[in-house]
Structure 1
């Protein structure tokens, strides 16, 4: 006997297919909860669970006070990712979760402690990085890591900056941006990232630690959502065993002596 899918899964899969087929275009607003309840003849709880699943997969995004909208940068359905890259997805997700926990505070401390010169340099770096808008197939997904390091340095906590600098070689050479951004959506993707970066920098310039933390959390949470969506779309699920293996690999690397050059 075949086990029936939960109603929330049925609704989520139906909405996902509408998004993939173009029936719901990028930037389009989802129907209201009441409309979805009527369309699928389900409760509000079922609808909320279905929409939450789509949001976790990066297919829809909230706009405060307006509702849910189809993401302008969904993970492409058809893609080709090398096997060696796929195998690192669980570790990449774990590292992004780690960054989220550290860099939110880093942004807040930067806003509270930065000098005027540092704030100016951070804005200049942002403008330079965001102006490049390279072909997603030729740029790494974490192309803005130097921007994040500059914020960490101005946070006046050498442990935060040193830790993120140490993680850099493990984080940056991961995936091409083209794995999560279709060429036709390149311009809207870069515009969104610039908007996220600008919110962080604006808060840093105003010395508003709370807003800086909030903006950094949103930025990294969106990045994490895109990578998680990539993992789900490619059939890679991070099991407990994979997460433990990823952590063991990371800590093994951290135990190695740091080369001082010569």
Structure 2
């Protein structure tokens, strides 16, 4: 008659509530969390669920076990890590919002790469661009090579935080990118546009022109959002599921 609630949902709920208490200061840095037995009783769940929820907080560096003493909130717990819940990016609209965020970062990455690139990093960018065509020619979707291309540009900036931020955002766009590239097979004009946009970014970086590189990267990301939206509209008109992460 009723559907069972997955254990994962219970674990998620407990972990989120504990996280809220830590962020609200109920459990400040250095504070000891209640025992498994107490938390199990208060949440009305098994100790296994409590243990798994705490394990998640440990993985994120928010709590730590001290042998014989219990579980304590770490000193870095007050620093809130950036999180995007996968359930928040289950629609085309939310994916486009992340693309919008990425656009501003990619533009500055390209500009800084144009200022700081060396012969070695330029060679890496050229090789990464060539790999996209090679993957597609071999029958692949080119997604991994595309990610590698943007990573090579970020590496040319010499700023590791650009790399980390783009890697964080890219994980939420991977599914949408795969859907887009798969659908581009039926839109030769899209494939040509992507290739030309990539070439424009590379040319500006090679020329050491940060303004041109910034504009080329912005144009690429604007068009990426447009193509994704258009593919979603095409699928909807054809009665298919939109080309978003839930596809």
TM-score by length of 1: 0.50
Helix, strand or coil at the partner of 1:139 = coil
- The corresponding residue for 2:200 is 199
The whole-number CA distance in structure 1 between the counterparts of 2:92 and 2:145 is 17
1:1-262 equivalent positions in 2, closer than 5 A? 87-133=90-136, 139=141, 144-174=146-176, 175-177=178-180, 180-183=183-186, 185-186=187-188, 188-234=189-235
Number of residue pairs matched?
150
Deviation at 1:140, TM superposition (A): 6.6
The whole-number CA distance in structure 2 between the counterparts of 1:118 and 1:148 is 12
5+ residue gaps, structure 2, are: 1-86, 238-244
Deviation at 1:139, TM superposition (A): 2.3
- 1:108-134 CA distances to partner (integer Å, 9 max, x unpaired)? 000001111101110111012123325
CA pair 99-228 structure 1, distance change in 2 beyond 3 A: same
CA pair 110-197 structure 1, distance change in 2 beyond 3 A: same
Deviation at 1:179, TM superposition (A): 6.0
5+ residue gaps, structure 1, are: 1-83, 237-245, 247-262
Point out which structure has higher relative CO (alpha carbons under 8 A, 6+ apart): 1
Q: Cα RMSD over matched residues?
A: 3.0
The whole-number CA distance in structure 2 between the counterparts of 1:231 and 1:214 is 26
* More helix as a share of residues: 2
The whole-number CA distance in structure 1 between the counterparts of 2:106 and 2:221 is 9
- 1:129-171 CA distances to partner (integer Å, 9 max, x unpaired)? 12332588x6276851211111112112222211111222222
Deviation at 1:89, TM superposition (A): 1.5
The whole-number CA distance in structure 2 between the counterparts of 1:129 and 1:143 is 5
- 1:174-226 CA distances to partner (integer Å, 9 max, x unpaired)? 3423664353x43x433332211111111111111111111111111111101
Moved more, 147-156 or 126-135: 126-135
Contact 1:143 1:172 in 2 (8 A): no
Which structure would you say has the larger Rg? 2
